[in-house]
């Protein structure tokens, strides 16, 4: 599967757009908008819904977690709350990641049996509104890494623009985006949604002009000092203002690695700019991220190979001791010459046995060296063959 994935991840392979965002940011509406936009361009995407708790979605999903996992039943069986139910549902769904990637890879290639069926160019992934459940969970990591191993993958972080107009909430969103970027290690686009309610020009200015953010911070501090309860919670003063001031300096380098677009999922403005940013990040993935992924994959393969060899050598030693019985200590002095003379024959026999076992093991693995079977203990396989 590794070689197949490497061949799929090319300049012509579809791009996977993973939409993440806090509850209420308009993430699902944004998914509906970009889905409709691609259908309008006559390039239908392949859509995945990974939110097991959603009752209904305003778009048709090709892969829906709700078809595989019953969220309410998971909560009942495991005695879980809402977040625990979502997390467990994702964990159960992640066990099917091989099947998901295989389906996506098939749809990314022309179908010889159905030439009229066009290969997909975009994969859209909707995630749970409980953003930390997906981003910081093992299942979320597995799903993201599996996508990135086969397709150029871009994270679209959806932000509620009207609720980010103060310096403190803006900085909180930027810190969250920073943590997601370094957790996923994937190209990211900041999508400032709901621009029909409030223009996102202020956010772009704050990200590109440090002095503009400083001025806005001063205004918020004055507003907090004069406005009381009504004006409170904008920038703060004292320690809070100093912290925001320092963080704006720290994040200046972080902003340089991001693309920022303002969109309105309700009216459709800015969607063309979003897909232009997606194409830029797709090229960035192929240029900068893919070599790093391939290097990490090669390291994992080397570690797996070394682990298998170590287990094989250990098992061969155990088998030699078992077949030799307790003869090591009996008549040791009188048998030294005989052992030396037969040493070469035993070594060659061990090598032949080891080679035979290795061939049988690889034959049992077949083409699944990257699957769960390849990660299973080699010792278990040998025990079944003895």
Mean pLDDT over each residue of the chain, to the nearest integer: 81
Q: Is the pLDDT of residue 342 over 60?
A: no
**Distance (Å, whole) CA 297 – CA 305:** 12
CA 291 to chain centre: 16
**Distance (Å, whole) CA 34 – CA 268:** 8
Q: How confident is the model at residue 114 (pLDDT cuts 50, 70, 90)?
A: confident
Each residue's pLDDT tens digit, 366-384: 544 444 444 444 444 444 5
User: In percent, how much of the chain has pLDDT > 90?
Assistant: 46
**Distance (Å, whole) CA 307 – CA 30:** 46
**Distance (Å, whole) CA 7 – CA 2:** 9
Of 125 and 182, the one with more pLDDT = 125
Q: How confident is the model at residue 197 (pLDDT cuts 50, 70, 90)?
A: very high
Domain 15-223+259-279 has CATH 3.40.50.300: yes
What pTM, to 2 d.p., does this model score? 0.74
Alpha helices in 152-235 (DSSP H): 167-184, 201-208, 210-231
In this prediction, residue 366 carries a pLDDT of 53
Mean pLDDT of 221-243: 62
Q: What is the number of alpha carbons within 13 Å of residue 351 lying toward its C-beta?
A: 6
Q: Which helix (H) or strand (E) holds 18?
A: strand 15-21
Mean pLDDT of 110-121: 85
Q: How confident is the model at residue 257 (pLDDT cuts 50, 70, 90)?
A: confident
Each residue's pLDDT tens digit, 74-109: 999 999 999 999 999 999 999 999 999 999 999 998
3-state DSSP percent of the chain in helix, strand and coil, to 5 = 60, 10, 30
Q: Is the pLDDT of residue 168 over 50?
A: yes
In this prediction, residue 1 carries a pLDDT of 40
Give the residue extent of every domain in the chain: 15-223+259-279
**Distance (Å, whole) CA 129 – CA 246:** 30
Of 243 and 322, the one with more pLDDT = 243
In this prediction, residue 104 carries a pLDDT of 94
**Distance (Å, whole) CA 291 – CA 279:** 18
Q: Which residues of 166-205 are buried (b: 16+ CB within 10 A; e: fewer)?
A: bbbbbbebbebbbebbeebebbbbbbbbbbbebebebbbe
Q: How confident is the model at residue 274 (pLDDT cuts 50, 70, 90)?
A: very high
What angle (nearest 5°) sits at the alpha carbon of residue 289, between those of residues 283 and 294?
120
Q: Of 38-52, 163-177, 246-260, which gets the smallest average pLDDT?
A: 246-260
Each residue's pLDDT tens digit, 327-338: 444 444 444 545
In this prediction, residue 382 carries a pLDDT of 47
The residue to which tokens 């677009």 are assigned: 261
Contact between 121 and 43 under an 8 Å Cβ cutoff? The reply is yes
Structure tokens at 339: 């052992």
In this prediction, residue 253 carries a pLDDT of 79
């Amino acid at each position: 599967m590794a070689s197949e994935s490497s061949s799929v991840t090319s300049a012509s392979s579809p791009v996977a757009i993973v939409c993440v965002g806090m509850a209420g940011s308009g993430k699902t509406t944004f998914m509906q908008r970009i889905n409709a936009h691609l259908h309008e361009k006559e390039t239908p995407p392949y859509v995945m819904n990974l939110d097991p708790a959603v009752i209904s979605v305003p778009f048709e999903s090709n892969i829906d977690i709700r078809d595989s996992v019953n969220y309410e039943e998971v909560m009942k069986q495991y005695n879980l709350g809402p977040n625990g139910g979502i997390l467990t549902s994702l964990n159960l769904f992640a066990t099917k990641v091989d099947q998901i990637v295989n389906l996506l890879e098939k749809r990314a290639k022309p179908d010889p049996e159905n030439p009229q069926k066009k290969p997909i160019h975009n994969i859209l992934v909707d995630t749970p509104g409980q953003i930390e459940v997906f981003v910081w969970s093992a299942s979320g990591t597995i799903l993201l890494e599996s996508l990135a191993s086969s397709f150029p993958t871009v994270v679209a972080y959806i932000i509620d623009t009207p609720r980010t107009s103060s310096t403190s909430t803006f900085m909180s969103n930027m810190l969250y985006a920073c943590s997601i970027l370094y957790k996923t290690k994937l190209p990211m686009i900041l999508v400032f949604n709901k621009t029909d309610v409030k223009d996102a020009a202020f956010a772009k200015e704050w990200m590109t002009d440090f002095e503009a953010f400083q001025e806005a911070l001063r205004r918020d501090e004055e507003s907090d000092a004069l406005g009381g309860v009504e004006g409170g919670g904008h920038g703060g003063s004292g320690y809070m203002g100093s912290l925001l001031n320092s963080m704006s300096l720290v994040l200046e380098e972080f902003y340089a690695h991001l693309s920022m677009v303002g969109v309105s999922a309700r009216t459709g403005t800015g969607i063309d700019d979003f897909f232009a940013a997606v194409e830029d990040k797709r090229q960035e993935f192929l240029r900068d991220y893919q070599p790093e992924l391939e290097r990490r994959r090669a390291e994992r393969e080397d570690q797996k190979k070394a682990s298998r060899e170590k287990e094989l050598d250990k098992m061969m030693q155990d088998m030699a001791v078992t077949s030799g019985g307790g003869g090591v200590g009996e008549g040791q002095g009188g048998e030294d010459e005989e052992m030396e003379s037969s040493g070469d024959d035993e070594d060659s026999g061990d090598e032949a046995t080891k080679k035979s076992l290795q061939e049988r093991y690889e034959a049992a693995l077949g083409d699944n060296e990257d699957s769960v079977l390849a990660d299973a203990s080699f010792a278990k396989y040998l025990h079944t063959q003895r």
